[in-house]
Amino acid sequence: MRRHFVYHITAAGLVLLLAACASSPLGHRQLQLFSQSELAQMGAESYRQIKQETPISHNAAINNYVACVARALTRQVGGDWEITVFKSEQINAFALPGGKIGVYTGLLDVAQGQNQLAAVIGHEIGHVLADHSNARLSAQFATSAGLQIIAALAGGAGTVSQQAAMSALGLGAQVGLLLPYSRGQESEADLIGLQIMARAGFDPRAAIDLWQNMSRAGGAAPPELLSTHPSNQARMQSLRNHMGEAMRLYRQAQNHPHCG
């Protein structure tokens, strides 16, 4: 009786998951279980927390420079975007649903010049445009729900052997589903960002220079199989493969920004 009930729950869950599938800008199928308003609310809350926990840079020259690059990019995608520069040695930047962009000052030592900075911010905007936060949260939610169903089918994870099996299954889901899915998102954001920066008048060839700098700054990187990001070499090759179209967009750009 118990298994019969769980099978019905599983079938209903599969129907819901299939209904929630959507296509990303580059045609990849992905789950979207959350509404845009929910994501914007989560993005705003995360942004608020980061601003509370991380010092904000008040250097006018740096703020104007980052804003100049970011505004040129966001004009290509529309929307109202808030931009904050954080005073931190982290080599990082992010964009969140709801139009939030954060850039850490440590990134400016590696992203040399406006074109390389545009490659980073364009990449982060690409994540938002592709709804990757929704897809990642949905994948994690679906994986967690699936593991709970399997545990119920197994009669509960009460014994030591069952607990060990469930732990192994959880690791398999992490390595086999969530991490490769994240690598796919990173590659897609690279290509979306490449198009955005080119249309905004930033030289897309700088994206390859950026990842060469990142490679030198990154030190020992984890194996690509266990990483949420493609290797620097893999992403540079993907960028080269799509550079022809990006250069065409760059040459057609109406304006070529001049940021400090």
Domain residues of the chain, as ranges? 2-252
- Is residue 186 part of the annotated active site? The answer reads no
Mean pLDDT by 10 residues, the chain (260 residues): 40 44 60 75 88 96 98 97 96 92 95 97 92 73 57 53 51 50 82 97 97 77 61 88 97 92
Q: Which distant-in-sequence residues (6+ apart) come within 8 Å of 95 by Cβ?
A: 101, 102, 121, 124, 125, 127, 128
pLDDT at 82: 97
Sign, CA dihedral 217-191-129-140, equals: negative
Other beta carbons within 10 Å of 17:
16
212 and 218 Cβ atoms separated by less than 8 Å? no
Sign, CA dihedral 130-32-7-2, equals: positive
Query: Whose structure tokens read 């493969």?
Result: 241
**Residues 53, 82, 124, 224: which is the catalytic one?**
124
Q: Where are the beta strands (DSSP E) in the chain?
A: 21-23, 29-31, 82-86, 93-96, 100-104
Q: What are phi and psi of 147, to 5 degrees?
A: -65, -35
3-state secondary structure of 106: helix
pLDDT at 163: 54
- Per DSSP, what are the bridge partners of residue 62? none
- DSSP H or E segment with residue 8: helix 2-19
Q: Residue 140 and residue 190: Cα distance in Å, rounded?
A: 22
> Can you give the C-alpha Rg of the chain in angstroms?
21
Say what the pTM is: 0.77
pLDDT at 190: 93
pLDDT at 248: 98
Q: Which distant-in-sequence residues (6+ apart) come within 8 Å of 101 by Cβ?
A: 70, 74, 81, 82, 83, 84, 93, 94, 95, 121, 124, 125
